[in-house]
């Protein structure tokens, strides 16, 4: 389920709950600028297999 959230909630989830950041831009754009600690899974590749390494017990923030 996708839920839009505000910047302050993203910060809280990462800091307080170990939230995982997933950047969906293509690799060249990810390399030029991304949030520190984010992993890159391009939107066209975002599926069950590419997200299998994420911890299902921690929040996942996709941007």
Could you report the per-residue pLDDT of 24-33, keeping only the tens digit for each? 999 999 999 9
User: In this prediction, what percent of the chain has a pLDDT beyond 70?
Assistant: 100
For the residues 33-40, what does the mean pLDDT come to? 94
Could you report the per-residue pLDDT of 4-14, keeping only the tens digit for each? 999 999 999 99
Distance (Å, whole) CA 40 – CA 23:
5
Helices assigned H by DSSP within the chain: 7-17, 27-32
Query: How confident is residue 2, by pLDDT bands cut at 50, 70 and 90?
Result: confident
Which DSSP state fits 54? S
- Model's pTM, two decimal places? 0.89
Query: How confident is residue 47, by pLDDT bands cut at 50, 70 and 90?
Result: very high
* The residue to which tokens 């910047």 are assigned: 7
Token pair recorded at residue 52 = 């299998």
């Amino acid at each position: 389920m996708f839920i839009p959230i505000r910047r302050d909630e993203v910060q809280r989830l990462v800091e307080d709950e170990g939230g995982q950041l997933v950047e969906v831009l293509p690799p060249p754009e990810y390399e030029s600028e991304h949030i520190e600690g984010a992993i890159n899974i391009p939107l066209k590749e975002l599926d069950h297999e590419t997200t299998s390494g994420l911890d299902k017990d921690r929040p996942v923030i996709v941007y």
